[in-house]
Structure 1
């Protein structure tokens, strides 16, 4: 329940998060917000784990000189497959022998969960940031295991590795499924267009795409454009901000450096406290 008198008091915030929905919404409710929970995307295991299993087999038999992790969820799903293979300890040891490059803080956390640490983190948690990081490394002749995420084959990243003489071996170890009923998403779009929502707080780019897809499929394209124009948008980091801009929106606030949910909540609070977002 929202607390009275917090610096988010009186604000209605749409929360499209799925995995940590209650945690994220609770963070804002602690500061007085009224949250509208509307989970957009669910993360699921692969229907067929063979691609992830094959990637792990290559890691174990050939070894990777370098590993690139784009998401923490990707590593966790790979470890789920490793446990099913009864090779968890072997996989952890093989990861520990490689130079591990990460896109952002979430894969760092996932690495620490298995007792490993990154060799280097990207200067910004984007594909361009990862490419810039790898451009400073010797990759000639290296086998480079690359963990991708669904709906993005990321050919620019793979090509950047090839251009430096590396041999990319890519895997996408999980999939997305629509989580929220279409009716709930439609209601959220109409509420945004009508000015009944003060903020929408995006934590992943598929949430933005799902909102846009439902609008297009359900004849709510005009309402979507109106809602994106009048509702302040908070994005957890630059990848999400890019998705918002691609959908025609403008990000009102985003954390400056640490791209987690708590810094996002604090960024929203600062925006309201200093009056920069007043309407």
Structure 2
């Protein structure tokens, strides 16, 4: 296949939109290597999330902070199983909703809603900045978190403005997903057999590092990060790459979506 990515092998970590993202790269001639770094799963025990939803439906919350689009979709999944989906959507429509970035905006649009405020940068710090002028005194704020990050920074910011945060984590990661394939990806990166790795979520970076450390591949991981050009979909992912010891070669300048990420990779390669 022709295209400006022809002959390039790009490692694409598993994500909710894996096929869509890989297809975008393949349209431009790339060979994609799919790696199951992180799978998103329903909760083993949905009871805490159901309790949170019951409080939402009962009108206890005044505001909601959404960090991920997947978080809203999984809340709807939990609500549906509990027979609360219609009441949940109606309750969400009565809240002021602050979002971290474009993915939760998209998830809101799927149910006919729009955010009250969008963070100036798609990070927790960006959400804190979005709350800077808000007086949350006497307000209860639902906070959707994601696995592995209790986000004390954000919860403390809500408290500092007088609010009472009530957190929920509506999904989990399957971190044991096909570890052998992850090992192979690390070895391929270290051997120079991967031209790019395109990260779309920070847990993907952490999972790669965890497998490397647990399987005696720490040196190969460091060499792979040094040899392989790294693309990051946005600043949160870029921070995770840098924390792991890598350097981001390219990222979209403003629109943190898959298509701008593909175009950023193409533009970098066009420059040689």
Corresponding residue of 1:118: 115
The counterpart of 2:226, out of the listed 229, 232, 236, is 229
Alignment of 1:79-158 (within 5 A): 79-158=76-155
CA RMSD of aligned residues (A): 1.0
The counterpart of 1:164, out of the listed 161, 169, 172, is 161
The counterpart of 1:250, out of the listed 247, 252, 257, is 247
Cα distance in 2 for residues equivalent to 1:170 and 1:12: 40
Task: Write the deviation string for residues 213-241 of structure 1: whole angstroms up to 9, x where unpaired.
Answer: 11111111111101101110000111111
Corresponding residue of 2:5: 8
1:18 equivalent in alignment to 2:11: no
Alpha-carbon offset, residue 138 of structure 1: 1.8
Corresponding residue of 1:264: 261
The counterpart of 2:205, out of the listed 174, 184, 208, is 208
Alpha-carbon offset, residue 68 of structure 1: 0.3
Equivalent residues of 2:67, 2:144 under 8 A apart: yes
Cα distance in 1 for residues equivalent to 2:203 and 2:245: 15
TM-score (norm 1): 0.95
Per the alignment, in what secondary structure is the counterpart of residue 123 of structure 1?
coil
Alpha-carbon offset, residue 62 of structure 1: 3.5
Alpha-carbon offset, residue 81 of structure 1: 1.5
Cα distance in 1 for residues equivalent to 2:256 and 2:145: 19
Cα distance in 2 for residues equivalent to 1:23 and 1:157: 32
1:198 equivalent in alignment to 2:195: yes
Equivalent residues of 1:102, 1:118 under 8 A apart: yes
The counterpart of 2:24, out of the listed 11, 19, 27, is 27
Cα distance in 2 for residues equivalent to 1:53 and 1:183: 35
Equivalent residues of 2:59, 2:91 under 8 A apart: no
Alpha-carbon offset, residue 18 of structure 1: 2.9
Alpha-carbon offset, residue 17 of structure 1: 2.4
Q: Extract unaligned runs of 5+ from structure 2.
A: none
1:219 equivalent in alignment to 2:216: yes
Cα distance in 1 for residues equivalent to 2:14 and 2:256: 15
Cα distance in 1 for residues equivalent to 2:16 and 2:131: 30
Per the alignment, in what secondary structure is the counterpart of residue 97 of structure 1?
coil
Per the alignment, in what secondary structure is the counterpart of residue 92 of structure 1?
helix
Task: Write the deviation string for residues 125-165 of structure 1: whole angstroms up to 9, x where unpaired.
Answer: 00000000011212111110000000000011000000110
Alpha-carbon offset, residue 179 of structure 1: 6.0
Question: Structure 1: which 4+ aligned runs deviate by more than 2 Å?
Answer: none
Alpha-carbon offset, residue 87 of structure 1: 2.0
Per the alignment, in what secondary structure is the counterpart of residue 11 of structure 2?
strand
Corresponding residue of 1:70: 67
